[in-house]
Amino acid sequence: MPLVTAGVVVLDCVEPEKLAQFYKELLEGRQTEASANLVEVRGADGIRIACRRDTAATPPSWPRPENSLQAHLDFLVEDLDEAERRVVALGGRPLQTRDAHGPYEERGYADPAGHSFTLRLVQPTAPKQG
């Protein structure tokens, strides 16, 4: 039996209830735990994210160098445009501008509390036909 059986990504924030709601909706998941200072969400695919209250939390400044990238999350998606619309509708914001030419494999965003994450296009597993 492994020593560590499960992991949870914990994000510090001022308002854990609001941030947990963002991730619950984005990951089409459910809230699994809640206390005065921590709310945990389990996504539909099993990913676990907890939001912990820290009244002094400051968001990372990425991509600017001061207080830069502390950590970030990567989410695999099949449709970047659809996923972006969902992120923005839930209160997230784009961090990276895209060049108007060529394919885009990933895009950077911040959640409502300022934590950065990336939506990455799922690579097809089967070769192209035709």
Domains and CATH numbers, the chain: 9-121 (3.10.180.10)
| pLDDT (0 to 100) of residue 101 | 44
The mean pLDDT value for 29-41 works out to 93
pLDDT in the model for residue 97 = 57
* pLDDT of 73: 80
What Cα–Cα distance (Å) separates residue 80 from each residue in 34, 109, 115, 119, 127?
A: 31, 12, 19, 7, 20
How many other CB atoms are found less than 10 A from the CB of residue 6? 7
pLDDT at residue 40 is higher than 60: yes
Residue showing tokens 């839930």: 90
**pLDDT of the residue at 70:** 64
Provide the whole-model pTM.
0.72
For 83-128, what is each residue's pLDDT tens digit? Answer: 999 999 999 999 875 654 445 578 889 999 988 888 888 765 555 5
Per mean pLDDT, which range of 37-41, 49-53, 75-79 is the poorest? 75-79
For residue 62, which of 26, 87, 93 has the smallest C-alpha distance? 93
User: Mean pLDDT score of the chain, rounded to an integer?
Assistant: 82
What are φ and ψ of residue 94, in 5° steps?
A: -65, 145
What residues are paired with 117 via a beta bridge?
Answer: 73, 109
Instruction: Flag whether pLDDT at 14 surpasses 70.
Output: yes
